[in-house]
Chains A and B, each alone.
Chain A
């Protein structure tokens, strides 16, 4: 093959398709440039930066919607009923607008010469992330976080971080893993320090950046060990290469390959655990969230978690395969993850109990929820390590891992709405009372009608965070607990983890209840007037709180859960 042929081939086979799949990221990047250009030529006096950012992220969101549509029904067939036909027609129009085609977006598989992976999972995660971006943008517009002058800076950072997150959901290469984690971290350091005149904010940013840079360094070292040991940086070659490297030796902790692999994975996990705020690497989280504004904290708590879980799923599945030694490794990693998860939820819930600052309390609750979610990945790893026809009996390990990942996806979907609602409520309360501690919420229910609506939305979100039955949070937790229970047949340690998780759910009840008590039962302090929130704030709260219901006890629940299962299956088949 000659140089020209190779170039032609690269452009025609790979590049054009990759660019199609990459369209949401491209749109966001273009929006960033547009934002800065507009400020340079002074257009931002007439068109505020937030509208440009919102338009860009909506466009990217629509692009992903079309991609998802292609994934679900190849060829974009039009359904017979009128609404389906209208929606299908609109999607077709959008597809033509974005130049998305069946050959490009519709076919799953690696793109950009194997650096990234395109499948339903990636598309779904990106859809969620872009939805969150749109919601966060609207929230900042409502609460007026960036002023006219600095709007372009803030939205540039926000969109830049989201580009990194979108990429993290589809990583298939160690470099892309590191790159996407850096791309989401570095702008978020700056976002945490966004209120730069405020002492707390700069302190939070300093802690975040110092710990973040350190964990990124450790992660990179682990990455270099793995890449060197396996002689490749592509995820899908890892399992095979590990088997080759072991060369038939038994799996033992004295073998150099095993030591280096475990060290490498552990170091790489340091970086991932840092972003997920899992237990030994969680200490930045309360400080950073307390110092940052509530909008930024809410965005980071959801978005960086979701994106990194996407990356973690892919990284974890790279270490699963056939062969005795790789099975051993997988089960070690799975049990290790489960222990980390149990530790995080315990510490998070216990520490949250003593907090008086709302954001700090929510930060600890975030740590606990990350613990629940990582259990799903742990269960998935344990299932993947099962030898065929082993202890699981009649259950199919692969099917069970699909269910475990389904639990994670469902949890993340619910978590998006319930956690965003909680942080949005903090922002609304701050705007009214200029305070962010639990006492500030006392007697919130005595406010005007709109304030009461916000209170109800907050109640829904907290109830779902606890996992009270009819709401989405319950089903999400149930799915994960079920997977952990089944995985316990393979590793009895997981039953212990399950017991801890159950206990934690009870503990969490108390601190969420403290806030609820302040909001609904305690009277307003003497010298404080009842709050009067604007109606648009209440409308926003209702829009976010509604899906918490829909994902719970609603006719849609079964369909949503099925969608999540189909999506999680795309990771394995």
Chain B
């Protein structure tokens, strides 16, 4: 049985991370930005678990990833509530339309 090794996993994680970053930077829809954040978090989680399997991190990697998933879900819930609240007040979810506060 062939073993994939650590580096390929890390590279997949890096691709996810970068896609997420670009997504956060370029999307104007607030929910699109949040999707970018999810991608970034998944890249990090994949890193942690790959290190936990092949690296010296051991089981701690899985434990940390577990909490990250939970925290990310909580963050997404609040973010979505804020987006809804914004939509109720402004009737748009375009982040670039949020410019009332620029002076």
Contact = CB atoms under 8 A, between A and B. Distances in A.
Interface of A: 174-175, 178-179, 182, 186, 189-190, 193, 196-200, 202-207, 209-210, 213-214, 216-218, 220-221, 223-225, 227-228, 231-233, 286-287, 290-291, 354-357, 360
A209 B100 CA distance: 17
A227 B57 CA distance: 7
A199 B90 CA distance: 7
Given A224-B47, A228-B48, A209 B78 contact: yes
A178 B71 contact: yes
Interface string B10-51: 100100010011001000001001101100110111011011
The 10 closest A-B pairs by CB, nearest first: A231-B56, A228-B51, A217-B40, A224-B47, A220-B44, A221-B44, A287-B101, A224-B44, A202-B86, A206-B86
Contacts of A207: 95, 98, 101
Interface of B: 10, 13, 17, 20-21, 24, 30, 33-34, 36-37, 40-41, 43-45, 47-48, 50-51, 55-58, 60-61, 63-64, 67-68, 71, 74-75, 78-79, 81-83, 85-86, 88-90, 95, 98, 100-103
A217 B79 contact: no
B86 A213 contact: no
B79 A203 contact: no
Contacts of B55: 228, 231
A357 B103 contact: yes
Contacts of A193: 82, 85
Contact of B103 (A174, A182, A360): A360
A360 B103 CA distance: 9
Contacts of B51: 224, 227-228, 231
Contact of A223 (B13, B44, B50): B44
Nearest to B24: A214
Given A175-B64, A221-B17, 8 more contacts: A175-B67, A203-B89, A203-B98, A213-B34, A225-B47, A227-B60, A228-B10, A228-B55
Nearest to A234: B60
A224 B98 contact: no
Nearest to A287: B101
A93 B60 CA distance: 41
Contacts of A218: 21, 40
A233 B60 contact: yes
Contact of B79 (A210, A220, A355, A360): A210
27 contacts: A175-B64, A175-B67, A178-B68, A182-B75, A189-B79, A190-B78, A190-B81, A193-B85, A203-B101, A206-B86, A207-B101, A209-B79, A209-B82, A210-B34, A213-B37, A220-B44, A224-B51, A225-B47, A227-B60, A228-B55, A228-B61, A231-B57, A231-B58, A287-B101, A287-B102, A356-B103, A357-B103
Given A220-B40, A228-B48, A206 B30 contact: yes
Contacts of A204: 101
B47 A232 contact: no
Point out which of A178, A206, A207, A356 has the most chain B C-beta atoms below 10 A from its C-beta. Answer: A206
B29 to A, nearest CB: 11
B7 to A, nearest CB: 11
A198 B86 CA distance: 9
Contacts of A190: 78, 81-82
Point out which of A209, A217, A286 has the most chain B C-beta atoms below 10 A from its C-beta. Answer: A217
B89 A202 contact: yes
A186 B78 contact: yes
A221 B50 CA distance: 13
B30 A220 contact: no
Nearest to B33: A210
A231 B95 CA distance: 39
Nearest to A182: B71
A190 B58 CA distance: 36
A288 B38 CA distance: 23
Contacts of A179: 67, 71
B47 A206 contact: no
A197 B86 CA distance: 9
A190 B79 CA distance: 9
Nearest to B66: A175
B82 A202 contact: yes
Given A218-B21, A232-B57, A227 B48 contact: yes
Point out which of B30, B37, B67 has the most chain A C-beta atoms below 10 A from its C-beta. Answer: B37
Contacts of A182: 71, 74-75
Contacts of A214: 24, 33, 36-37, 40
Point out which of B50, B68, B102 has the most chain A C-beta atoms below 10 A from its C-beta. Answer: B68
Contacts of A199: 89-90, 100
A287 B64 CA distance: 33
B100 A205 contact: no
A367 B83 CA distance: 26
A196 B85 contact: yes
A210 B95 contact: yes
Point out which of B30, B34, B45, B89 has the most chain A C-beta atoms below 10 A from its C-beta. Answer: B89
Contacts of B24: 210, 214, 217
A503 to B, nearest CB: 25
Contacts of A286: 101
Contacts of B71: 178-179, 182
Contacts of B86: 202-203, 205-206
Contacts of A233: 57, 60, 64
A202 B90 contact: yes
Contacts of A198: 89
A291 B85 CA distance: 14
Nearest to B68: A220
Contacts of B61: 227-228
Contacts of A217: 20, 24, 37, 40-41, 44
